[in-house]
Amino acid sequence: MKKDKKLLKNGKRIDGRGIGDLREMEAEAGVLERADGSGYFRMGDTEAIAAVFGPRELHPKHKQKPQRGILQCRYNLAPFSVEDRKRPGPSRRAKEIGKVAEGALSSTVFLEEFPTATIDVYMEVITADAGTRCVALNAGAIALADAGIPMKGIISACAAGKIEDTPVLDLKGEEDQGGQVDLPIAMNADTGEVTLLQMDGMTNIEEMDEMLELAIKGCEKVAKKQREALMKTF
Amino acid sequence: MKKDKKLLKNGKRIDGRGIGDLREMEAEAGVLERADGSGYFRMGDTEAIAAVFGPRELHPKHKQKPQRGILQCRYNLAPFSVEDRKRPGPSRRAKEIGKVAEGALSSTVFLEEFPTATIDVYMEVITADAGTRCVALNAGAIALADAGIPMKGIISACAAGKIEDTPVLDLKGEEDQGGQVDLPIAMNADTGEVTLLQMDGMTNIEEMDEMLELAIKGCEKVAKKQREALMKTF
Amino acid sequence: MKKDKKLLKNGKRIDGRGIGDLREMEAEAGVLERADGSGYFRMGDTEAIAAVFGPRELHPKHKQKPQRGILQCRYNLAPFSVEDRKRPGPSRRAKEIGKVAEGALSSTVFLEEFPTATIDVYMEVITADAGTRCVALNAGAIALADAGIPMKGIISACAAGKIEDTPVLDLKGEEDQGGQVDLPIAMNADTGEVTLLQMDGMTNIEEMDEMLELAIKGCEKVAKKQREALMKTF
Amino acid sequence: MMDITEIEEQSALDKIKKGERLDDRGLEDFRDVEVETGVAKKAEGSAEVRLGDTKVIVGVKFGMGEPFPDTPDEGMLMVNAELGPMASPNFESGPPGKDATELARVVDRGIRESEALPLKELCVEEGEKVWKVMVDIHILDYDGNLMDASALGAAKALIEAEIPEYEDGEVKREKTKEFPVNKVPVACTVVKVGDKYILDPSLIEEKIADGMVTVTWTEDELCSLQKRGNGGFTKDELLDIFEIARKKTDGLRKIIE
Amino acid sequence: MMDITEIEEQSALDKIKKGERLDDRGLEDFRDVEVETGVAKKAEGSAEVRLGDTKVIVGVKFGMGEPFPDTPDEGMLMVNAELGPMASPNFESGPPGKDATELARVVDRGIRESEALPLKELCVEEGEKVWKVMVDIHILDYDGNLMDASALGAAKALIEAEIPEYEDGEVKREKTKEFPVNKVPVACTVVKVGDKYILDPSLIEEKIADGMVTVTWTEDELCSLQKRGNGGFTKDELLDIFEIARKKTDGLRKIIE
Amino acid sequence: MMDITEIEEQSALDKIKKGERLDDRGLEDFRDVEVETGVAKKAEGSAEVRLGDTKVIVGVKFGMGEPFPDTPDEGMLMVNAELGPMASPNFESGPPGKDATELARVVDRGIRESEALPLKELCVEEGEKVWKVMVDIHILDYDGNLMDASALGAAKALIEAEIPEYEDGEVKREKTKEFPVNKVPVACTVVKVGDKYILDPSLIEEKIADGMVTVTWTEDELCSLQKRGNGGFTKDELLDIFEIARKKTDGLRKIIE
């Protein structure tokens, strides 16, 4: 990590944002035709599209659960979404994010209503400038709602972090590279429960408290944006 | 492409052939024992063996079509068939050729007589000196007939091309490397319909007309050779 | 193969063993909890763990045999078991050993008692200092017995070899690298039948006779050690 | 009894016999063609193409690589296509299958054979370092005619692309200059249904096709052909098809130039 | 009718509601922790960790490699986990799936983010040759809580590891020196079941979890978090969980130091 | 009720008990052995071997590569076998399975252990450039005894091979010189059926085998053994088998020398 560039100056960040500001957001529901539901989310330069298929029959059959459906996620970066072209297909990192995304979204879906079925959420990152898993999840949650899947609340995600020993919200690419901590979370904005939580970097409980607080407030703003997008489709 | 060597001289080609001449051909049916049908075809130095299995049950079952059978092709170059040893297993190029070969052969088989079944055509190129897909298809068509599969006509293939601005028939390796256009076609010699058509290179409609004319006449000669080979097995 | 180091001196080997001595052995049954049976075997520095699952239903179903069960082996080297870290997953060598291990163990199991079923034997080499397939098989045989699989006798394995033109028993790493012949065998110690036999190197029938004699005696000692380990679990 | 798809297919077929189409287009009409650029900000060039409900993003990235031994002084073109599970309920995750491979290779040949790219100018150090031009086709929504949409997107993304500077052994993505495209290859797929030709087939129409030919034209030359699907064509039909495609690609080319 | 697993799950659940566990542990008790070193003689460092019936071997190997372009003067850490078919009747042969990938990456991040390893000291020749530290996690027996067992084994194997000398362009494994570990990252997974927290879950207990958080602490800093499974946590719950994990990791660290 | 295969197997078994075989061969007779060379014109050496209905092509290609670090002054041998779907209704497409791997490795060891190839002479520049000798076994028709057919084909293809010149950093395939083969390893598989031994088993006979041993001899030394299938052998049986194989390989060697 290069730390030569000053990331904070008089409480302002390199793009002029304050400590607790999100980047500019854009959200849209129903962006695809073939999928049962779809969503688009952008946060600064990071953007993702998500498609939902299902509930539909799970194959192979021996993976079906008699009591409840399952929700499966695929998270993928387009080859041209990053500086140096990425080999097609999910990397190890992408597989892991697919798994935690399943944990984040499963908690909000009434899976017991769909025994033996699967709900598939496919998330594609088109441009990656930090916060990709959060932006992808935000698109995925819109897509689930757009597909009419019954849910306990909308899942909204954003990351807090630490740069130059200061907790801040929603790191962009350069901040992420020069940053000390990355703390992506997803939250059920209706229940206040955190359904995705990852953290890398060195920190302590006081800072965690501050960062979580920032991230939770961020998720609430994200939820507002998601809800607006969904309203437009009705 | 190296163009330093003269490929045409007084209307004669490097191996003495005229513009519209095919290379020497050899054809044989029933060259393998385990397959339901098999064929061998050689055109100059390029040679291929094909085996047909089926009609037989298609696995996995969910790919079966209730109304008609399917025909599947595998086209492969043996590792020792080319100058620099090729890694085993079909390349991207080979997968594509497998697909167009399916299109070329499916059109002649009465697939509606074999609901839920598959007919598998496996083609192996033993020596590659240009025209491999055509030679493989010629072997494949012999194998289909040898397997007793009901067909609307024999499929016969050869390539036309352009060297030194002149349309010619059936390029051999050196001509292919120094050539300007490669135009492989397959034809149902009984109906005159072109069932495979690919083209690389820069040309115009007048040249296309000439090259197609050459290739169609070439296919008719190929068909004669295939039929002779099949006659011998009865 | 470097042959500069003296491997034999006055009939003694680099670790002080005589021509017909095995390395120190250690054996244990029931070392794992989740498996239906398990075993551990060590010969000098080479050690392996084996787990047996089954008899259990074989998937996919079309591989099931109506008259008898099958026995499947997986032989694998842990990435840290060798000098230079090994890529995870079975190599070509490991696949081949898995296959000959199946031949070695299948012969002793009453497979006809388990139609349509599979018995899976998984062998992991923890440290490799020559003789890995034999040590793994010894652990595998203990695991089969520990799983209560009905058998015609215990399978016991060890290798003979030739160093400095002399047949010897149970080569360790340095001997193997500087050796001329490697002859791993497995034997049903109750019937005296050799159920695994491989050999690399140049030899003749007289030497083979001597080496087989050494290896057979070695297997008998291995069998004793295996039986002791199994006795402790009752 | 026919299922819904079969009924739809039958309707599409009946319409075409009468010279009509399900969505009221003329037989040789394309659906609305929308092309947007700059859609992938980390790509050196990108374009999104919509043909009705079909939606494709193409991104171009440049990278430094070692040239192929037989062309030591030429840059390299690589075209890849992903038919990811997002685009259709019938696509599966996994390595590219036959369809994705054919799609990528047909687009690749259109660009390569037309000599659209100045490959010689992409050589940095003969035999050692040349630019790789990596074209990735990402299918977002699949309602037929991926070939024409992808080829158009690839051409547009290349036209829009800016090539980074290479200085002191590093690719400097913050400094870019224009990337010259010599020719603009455009593909048009002509579909035979019974005795009619249609263009820009929807998914349903692709299913009832008796055969298709994807024809790639530059401004003045035919540079690639690919017959697809079962069925066959007479020579005269083929010559007609090349002309139909020529006219249509002239129109499509205007949209992206 | 419930099958045996369901009955067991129900019993585990009932017990925990009453503050008890199937094996009579306290809710925040670990099973017996056994750590043995030197278990893989060809590894430069190795440790076997047992948590009850869960059994994990971790081996550390050193090798020489080319550094990543963006860190030309740093050694490289690689963590890999295999959930081989030996460890459970439900594991299959094949490349690592999502579970194995997550396991490896969480252990990796604990080591990487805590700056446990002196990566700068592992540079032999800038931009050309650096040491690779390869940590392989091998699961032998799976009765829950692979994360904590694997992280503990990895830390111990690194502490025990001796690095070979590199002389005349060759790795000399017969000559080794001590390998310094700056920090000791230890993971503790806190599991929510209803309104209770339990530690070191068995396989049955993992199945009835409403969610888990794997928390990695060094001596004095929190260096990695991973929420796993479905279910959610309030902020206050999370802050509690970090403290519970801190206390427990202090205890676990003493076992391996 | 037995199906056709079972009935055939039973007949084969009954015959062998009486010292006879389905195709009227003697127990130790091979089927007709046909060996043709020069069958793959782009290979530097090739041979097609037929044993009855079994048909195998082996091609040898030379290429330039970097030597293995532990043998910097030796050429490299690589043997690969493909049991492609052409050869049998039961073979599937895909990467080599256990059977193909075993086949390739047994042939490989026969060549390697007999020191048939002058590996030291295949070094062009120590530690940098050595010849790779790549032997590819292609199965065309499978009616049993692939091992003996493949080993014979590999030996013949190597004997026939001519090595290209290496000049100015390039492999010149148009200029070749003789490639010396020191020894000729030949394999013979001895099959136990009940208390009888048979040679050159057909597919049916392989299925009823109680075990097989593939024995590879050079002119005067035993260089590789592989017991295959289930079943076991006493030491005396093995010593008999080695002698039976010796005699037969002497005969087979004459065919290809």
Of chain B, the percentage scoring pLDDT greater than 70 comes to: 98
The stretch D247-256 carries a mean pLDDT of 97
User: Could you tell me whether strands A8-9 and A12-13 are parallel, antiparallel, or unpaired per DSSP bridges?
Assistant: antiparallel
C-beta atoms of A51 and D86 within 8 A: yes
pLDDT tens readout for residues D199-237: 999 999 999 999 999 999 999 999 999 999 999 999 999
In a domain, A193, yes or no: yes
- Number of other CB atoms surrounding residue E138 within 10 Å: 30
d(CA A181, CA A168): 10
C-beta atoms of A78 and D63 within 8 A: no
- Give F1's pLDDT tier (boundaries 50, 70, 90): very low
Residue E2 predicted with pLDDT over 60:
no
Angle at E97 between CA E58 and CA B59, to 5 degrees: 140
Q: C164 to chain E nearest CA, in Å? A: 25
Sign of CA dihedral E79, E84, E86, E91: positive
Angle between helices A132-146 and A205-232 (to 10 degrees): 40
Number of domains chain B contains = 1
Of chain D, the percentage scoring pLDDT greater than 70 comes to: 98
Contact between D256 and D36 (Cβ < 8 Å): no
In a domain, C95, yes or no: yes
* H or E segment and range at residue A205: helix A205-232
**F95 interaction partners in chain C (CB closer than 8 Å):** none
The stretch B47-58 carries a mean pLDDT of 96
Q: Is there contact between A and F if contact means ≥3 C-beta pairs under 8 Å?
A: no
Contact between A133 and A46 (Cβ < 8 Å): no
pLDDT at A65: 86
Residue E4 predicted with pLDDT over 80:
no
Nearest-CA neighbor of C47 among C136, C122, C123?
A: C136
d(CA D103, CA D99): 6
- Give B148's pLDDT tier (boundaries 50, 70, 90): very high
Residues in chain C, total = 234
Of chain A, the percentage scoring pLDDT greater than 90 comes to: 91
The stretch E139-143 carries a mean pLDDT of 96
In a domain, B3, yes or no: no
Residue D15 predicted with pLDDT over 70:
yes
The reply to whether omega before A184 is within 30° of 0 (cis) is no
- Give E78's pLDDT tier (boundaries 50, 70, 90): very high
Nearest-CA neighbor of D169 among D129, D120, D133?
A: D129
pLDDT tens readout for residues E188-200: 999 999 999 999 9
**D115 interaction partners in chain B (CB closer than 8 Å):** 202
Nearest-CA neighbor of B44 among B119, B138, B182?
A: B138
Residue D14 predicted with pLDDT over 60:
yes
Nearest to F143 among B33, B79, B88 (CB): B33
User: Could you tell me whether strands F129-141 and C25-29 are parallel, antiparallel, or unpaired per DSSP bridges?
Assistant: unpaired
* H or E segment and range at residue B178: helix B173-178
pLDDT tens readout for residues C130-182: 999 999 999 999 999 999 999 999 999 999 999 999 999 999 999 999 999 99
Nearest to B79 among F41, F59, F87 (CB): F59
Residue A61 predicted with pLDDT over 90:
no
Nearest-CA neighbor of D185 among D245, D119, D99?
A: D245
- Number of other CB atoms surrounding residue B84 within 10 Å: 13
Strand partners, F228: F212
Ramachandran angles phi, psi of C136, nearest 5°:
-60, -45
d(CA F91, CA F85): 5
pLDDT at D91: 82
The stretch E71-79 carries a mean pLDDT of 96
Residue A191 predicted with pLDDT over 70:
yes
In a domain, C3, yes or no: no
- Give F2's pLDDT tier (boundaries 50, 70, 90): low
pLDDT tens readout for residues C169-223: 999 999 999 999 999 999 999 999 999 999 999 999 999 999 999 999 999 999 9
Q: What mean pLDDT is reported for chain E?
A: 95
CATH tag for F6-256 (out of 3.10.580.10, 3.30.479.30, 3.30.470.10, 3.30.230.70): 3.30.230.70
Q: Is there contact between D and A if contact means ≥3 C-beta pairs under 8 Å?
A: yes
In a domain, A234, yes or no: no
* H or E segment and range at residue F217: strand F211-217
Give the neighbours of chain A: at least 3 Cβ pairs within 8 Å.
D, E
Q: DSSP character for C113? A: G
The stretch F78-87 carries a mean pLDDT of 94
Q: F172 to chain C nearest CA, in Å? A: 32
Q: F168 to chain C nearest CA, in Å? A: 32
Structural domain for B38, as ranges: 15-229
User: Could you tell me whether strands D129-141 and D76-82 are parallel, antiparallel, or unpaired per DSSP bridges?
Assistant: parallel
**F162 interaction partners in chain B (CB closer than 8 Å):** none
**Residue for token pair 């059936």:** B170
In a domain, C72, yes or no: yes
Instruction: Give residues 29 to 68 of D whose Cβ lies within 8 Å of A.
Output: 39-43, 46, 53, 55, 57, 59-61, 63
D230 interface with B at CB cutoff 8 Å: yes
The reply to whether omega before F185 is within 30° of 0 (cis) is no
d(CA C86, CA B76): 32
Q: Where are the alpha helices (DSSP H) in A109-202?
A: 132-146, 173-178
Q: For residue A147, what is the domain's CATH number?
A: 3.30.230.70
The reply to whether omega before B55 is within 30° of 0 (cis) is yes
Q: DSSP character for B108? A: T
C-beta atoms of D225 and B202 within 8 A: no
Q: DSSP character for A87? A: P
Residue B2 predicted with pLDDT over 70:
no
Distances (CA, A) of F171 to F62, F74, F167: 9, 18, 7
pLDDT at A208: 97
Q: What mean pLDDT is reported for chain D?
A: 95
C-beta atoms of D87 and A34 within 8 A: yes
pLDDT tens readout for residues F91-131: 877 778 899 999 999 999 999 999 999 999 999 999 999 99
C-beta atoms of A95 and E221 within 8 A: no
A205 interface with E at CB cutoff 8 Å: yes
C107 interface with F at CB cutoff 8 Å: yes
The stretch A38-61 carries a mean pLDDT of 95
Nearest-CA neighbor of F99 among F67, F47, F139?
A: F139
d(CA C30, CA C46): 19
C-beta atoms of D238 and B98 within 8 A: no
C-beta atoms of A107 and E221 within 8 A: no
C-beta atoms of D227 and B198 within 8 A: yes
**Residue for token pair 């089926």:** B54
Residue B4 predicted with pLDDT over 80:
no
C-beta atoms of F225 and C203 within 8 A: no
In SS3 terms, D11-31 reads as HHHHHHHCCCCCCCCCCCCCC
In SS3 terms, chain E reads as CCCHHHHHHHHHHHHHHCCCCCCCCCCCCCCCEEEEECCCCCCCEEEEEEECCEEEEEEEEEEEECCCCCCCCCCEEEEEEECCCCCCCCCCCCCCCHHHHHHHHHHHHHHHHCCCCCHHHHEEECCCEEEEEEEEEEEEECCCCHHHHHHHHHHHHHHHCEEEEEECCEEEEEEEEECCCCCCCEEEEEEEECCEEEECCCHHHHHCCCEEEEEEECCCCEEEEEEECCCCECHHHHHHHHHHHHHHHHHHHHHHC
List, as one string, the DSSP characters of C8-57: EETTEETTS--TTPPPPEEEEE---SSSSEEEEEEETTEEEEEEEEEEEE
pLDDT at C4: 59
**C197 interaction partners in chain F (CB closer than 8 Å):** 213, 225-227, 233, 238
For F178-207, b/e burial (b = at least 16 CB within 10 A) is ebebebbbbbbbbbbbeeebbbbbbbbbbb
C-beta atoms of B194 and D230 within 8 A: no
d(CA D169, CA E99): 40
F207 interface with C at CB cutoff 8 Å: no
Strand partners, C182: C161, C200
D80 interface with B at CB cutoff 8 Å: no
Q: Say how many CB pairs under 8 Å bridge B and F.
A: 88
pLDDT tens readout for residues D134-171: 999 999 999 999 999 999 999 999 999 999 999 988 89
Strand partners, A193: A188
Q: DSSP character for D66? A: P
Contact between D41 and D97 (Cβ < 8 Å): no
Nearest to B188 among D109, D218, D232 (CB): D232
pLDDT at F4: 67
In SS3 terms, B22-90 reads as CCCEEEEECCCCCCCEEEEEEECCEEEEEEEEEEEECCCHHHCCCCCCEEEEEEEECCCCCCCCCCCCC
d(CA F46, CA A91): 42
- Give B226's pLDDT tier (boundaries 50, 70, 90): very high
In a domain, B156, yes or no: yes
pLDDT at A1: 41
- Which residue in chain A is spatially nearest to E243 when comparing CA positions? A205
Residue C21 predicted with pLDDT over 80:
yes
Of chain A, the percentage scoring pLDDT greater than 70 comes to: 98
In a domain, A7, yes or no: no
pLDDT tens readout for residues E7-19: 999 999 999 999 9
Q: B49 to chain D nearest CA, in Å? A: 22
* Rg of chain D in Å (alpha carbons): 19
pLDDT at D4: 67
What is the greatest pairwise CA distance in chain A?
Answer: 59
